[in-house]
Chain A
Amino acid sequence: KAGVTQTPRYLIKTRGQQVTLSCSPISGHRSVSWYQQTPGQGLQFLFEYFSETQRNKGNFPGRFSGRQFSNSRSEMNVSTLELGDSALYLCASSPGPASTDTQYFGPGTRLTVL
């Protein structure tokens, strides 16, 4: 099976712009979670989607949003970019929402905000 794919892999934006990142989960997986990773804060949970519904949301401002499509693919959007949004954005998929499901991470999208 193909792994989790994320596009684009690298992105450079300027402050005030918005960005959309895409994640394709492993075939058959219905849950997609998004994380932000920075050197200072480490890996932080953004949100989780299961069957097109947001199940959990982390402590991030409303500028961060996401959605999941009927084929389980997911997108996250960040509006009005700030310098502090520069980070590696990771997507992870799992078969279901059960708390003991292993999460499979993608390679991430490296976002740089200038």
Chain B
Amino acid sequence: SQKIEQNSEALNIQEGKTATLTCNYTNYSPAYLQWYRQDPGRGPVFLLLIRENEKEKRKERLKVTFDTTLKQSLFHITASQPADSATYLCALDANNAGNMLTFGGGTRLMVKP
């Protein structure tokens, strides 16, 4: 069956360290993968998109990698800050036909000062 898995346990790290979140998928062949941030009671906010032919994408303190062989994406936040505390969701194009995003369960990140 098709699955997108993110670590359901919260990730606690110290301010200034690099946070690394994992997204694994099975039985999908996505053309792209997206990462979103969601704060409690609010809708997800788009962060980064990486295509299947891209190995790495960067935006300010954020970096995403995409390994289609391992079927895995890693999301890194460098020099993390308490304001980065949120739930981070990965999503992929489930049927290569349009805006049908399938989301992982999300990982809650807690950055402690």
Residues of A with Cβ closer than 8 Å to B? 4, 31, 33, 35, 42-45, 48, 50, 55-56, 58, 90, 92, 94, 97-108
The answer to whether A108 and B104 touch across the interface, beta carbons within 8 angstroms, is no
**Contacting B100 at CB < 8 Å: which of A4, A48, A100?**
A48
The answer to whether B97 and A55 touch across the interface, beta carbons within 8 angstroms, is yes
Within the assembled complex, what's the spacing in Å between the Cα atoms of A33 and B98? 10
Number of residues on chain B facing chain A (CB within 8 A): 28
The answer to whether B99 and A104 touch across the interface, beta carbons within 8 angstroms, is no
**Chain B residues closer than 8 Å to A56, beta-carbon distance:** 95, 97-100
Q: How many A-B residue pairs have CB under 8 A?
A: 74
Decide if B96 is an interface residue (CB 8 Å cutoff): yes
Closest to B47 in A: A102
Enumerate the 10 nearest inter-chain pairs by beta-carbon distance, A residue then B residue, closest first: A105-B43, A43-B103, A97-B98, A56-B100, A42-B105, A102-B46, A99-B93, A48-B99, A105-B44, A33-B99
17 A-B pairs, CB-CB below 8 angstroms?
A: A33-B99, A33-B101, A35-B103, A42-B104, A43-B89, A55-B99, A56-B97, A56-B99, A58-B100, A99-B93, A99-B97, A99-B98, A100-B51, A103-B46, A107-B42, A108-B41, A108-B43
> Is chain A's interface secondary structure helix, strand, loop, or mixed overall?
strand
The answer to whether B42 and A108 touch across the interface, beta carbons within 8 angstroms, is yes
Q: A43-B89, A90-B43, A105-B45 are in contact. Are A99 and B99 (CB under 8 A)?
A: yes
B82 to A: closest C-beta gap in Å: 23
Within the assembled complex, what's the spacing in Å between the Cα atoms of A8 and B9? 32
Interface flags, B64-99, vs A, CB<8A=1, else 0:
000000000000000000000000010101111111
**Chain B residues closer than 8 Å to A50, beta-carbon distance:** 98-99
B45 to A: closest C-beta gap in Å: 7
**Residues of chain B in range 18-40 having any CB-CB distance to chain A below 8 Å:** 31-32, 34, 36
The answer to whether A31 and B99 touch across the interface, beta carbons within 8 angstroms, is yes
The answer to whether A42 and B106 touch across the interface, beta carbons within 8 angstroms, is yes
Decide if B49 is an interface residue (CB 8 Å cutoff): yes
